[in-house]
Structure 1
Amino acid sequence: MTRLARSLKRRVAIQRLARVATSDGGATMEYQTEAMVWSGVTPLGPGKLAAGVQADEKATHRFTMRFGLAVTTDHFLLLEGATARRFRVRGIANQAEAGEALVIEAEEIALDGEA
Structure 2
Amino acid sequence: MSAKPGRMNARIALRVRTDSPALDAGLTAGYSDEVKRWAEVRPVGAVAYAASVQSDERVTHRMRMRLFSRITTKYEVVWNGWVYRVRRAKHEHDKRETLLEVEEQRRVDDESEVSNGE
Q: Could you state the TM-score of these two structures normalised by the residue count of structure 1?
A: 0.68
**Equivalent pairs, count:** 97
Match of 2:105 among 98, 109, 113: 109
Q: CA RMSD in A?
A: 2.9
Higher strand share: 1
Correspondence for 2:74: 74
Correspondence for 1:51: none
Deviations 1:35-54 (A, max 9, x none): 00100001003558xxxxx9
Alignment of 1:1-115 (within 5 A): 4-18=4-18, 28-45=28-45, 57-80=57-80, 84-95=81-92, 97-111=93-107
Which 5+ residue runs of structure 1 have no aligned equivalent? 49-53
SS in 2 for 1:5: coil
8 Å CA contact 2:87, 2:102 repeated in 1? yes
CA 1:45/1:31 → structure 2, altered by over 3 Å: closer, same or farther? farther
For 2:58 and 2:19, the matched residues in 1 are separated by 27
CA 1:103/1:14 → structure 2, altered by over 3 Å: closer, same or farther? same
For 1:63 and 1:108, the matched residues in 2 are separated by 12
Q: Could you state the TM-score of these two structures normalised by the residue count of structure 2?
A: 0.66
